[in-house]
A = this chain, B = another copy of it.
Amino acid sequence: MKRTAFFISDGTGITAEALGQSLLAQFENVEFDKFTVPYIDTPEKARSVVKRINDVAKRDGLRPIIFDTIVNREIRELVSDVDGFMIDIFETFLDPLEKEMGSNSSYTVGKSHSIVNDRSYERRIHAVNFALDNDDGARTRHYDDADLILIGASRSGKTPTCLYLALHFGLKAANYPITEEDISDQKLPAALREHRSKLFGLTIDPERLSIIRNERRPNSRYSSLKQCREEIEEVELMYRRERVPYLNTTAYSVEEISTRIMVETGIERHAR
């Protein structure tokens, strides 16, 4: 069975999409064709998306599932007049929240992913720059300033994780690759020793690492399963010996790796 789903918003659509994905993922036996439609913020755009959805309903012979986070009431009403099954997030939750808060909502569009709080937004952008400047052990002199230093073998997931931690959470995360020389030394590289409390190790199954490395440098010693096995074994040994907390990233997305690192290190998500 295949159903079409729309995530509709008068803002970026990021919230509608996240919620919709999360709910639809619970229906494993249904295949979904999913579309995100942001910035539906005029009656014209509302009518045009209604037409589009109605066309799909006709084509599919099944009404589409619609998740919407449209704040504007007039637009929301226009969109609700559609041949679809609506999950209307503001309609559902704003009323009870207003009662609880004893206060009216402001019905302002696009609050959640805008520069509401300038300082926390700036913190995120600074953190991205920090991650780029301190990627791959490029510099170690800014480690005093880091919230976190990710270490691990080449291609174990350090860089995307640092960037996600920066973009999403505003954390300054540096990363340092553990090389063969570091391993043969059998101890923490000198640059890391004085920042022990900020270290977090990543590891990964050698089989997966070998596949990832082969995409970069096919059929090299660097990518060989033998080399990956040796490096990972030594790196994990170092983590245990030096008591560096670590995580195997093989089965996890950057979102999950980032969240787990924050839980493990006790960095609280005190949301913006």
Contact across chains for B270 and A38 when beta carbons are under 8 A apart: no
Contact across chains for A93 and B87 when beta carbons are under 8 A apart: yes
Q: How far is the CA of A7 from the CA of B15 in the complex (A)?
A: 14
Q: How far is the CA of A100 from the CA of B69 in the complex (A)?
A: 20
Q: Which among B17, B167, B263 is the interface contact of A254 at CB below 8 angstroms?
A: B167
Q: How far is the CB of A188 from chain B (nearest CB, A)?
A: 26
Residues of B within 8 A of A93 (CB): 23, 87, 92
Contact across chains for A35 and B268 when beta carbons are under 8 A apart: yes
Q: Which A residues between 191 and 230 are near B, CB-CB below 8 angstroms? A: none
Q: Which among B110, B115, B269 is the interface contact of A13 at CB below 8 angstroms?
A: B269
Q: What is the 8 Å Cβ interface bit string for chain A, positions 244-272, against chain B (1 contact, 0 not)?
A: 00000001111110111011000011111
Q: Which among B108, B121, B163, B253 is the interface contact of A26 at CB below 8 angstroms?
A: B108
Number of copies: 2
Does A71 sit at the interface, judged by CB under 8 A? yes
Take A112-B18, A114-B252, A132-B159 as given contacts and tell me if A23 and B94 are in contact as well, using a CB distance cutoff of 8 Å. yes
Contact across chains for A269 and B17 when beta carbons are under 8 A apart: yes
Q: Which among B14, B22, B251 is the interface contact of A112 at CB below 8 angstroms?
A: B22
Most buried by B among A38, A107, A112: A112
Q: What is the 8 Å Cβ interface bit string for chain A, positions 83-95, against chain B (1 contact, 0 not)?
A: 0010101101110
Q: How far is the CA of A269 from the CA of B9 in the complex (A)?
A: 13
A-side interface residues toward B, CB under 8 Å?
1, 3, 7, 11-15, 17-23, 25-30, 33-36, 38-39, 65, 69, 71, 85, 87, 89-90, 92-94, 96-97, 100-101, 103, 105-108, 110-116, 121, 124-125, 128-129, 132, 135, 159-160, 163-164, 167-168, 251-256, 258-260, 262-263, 268-272
- Interchain Cβ contacts under 8 Å between A and B, 10 examples: A15-B21, A19-B19, A21-B272, A23-B89, A26-B111, A30-B101, A35-B268, A87-B93, A115-B252, A124-B254
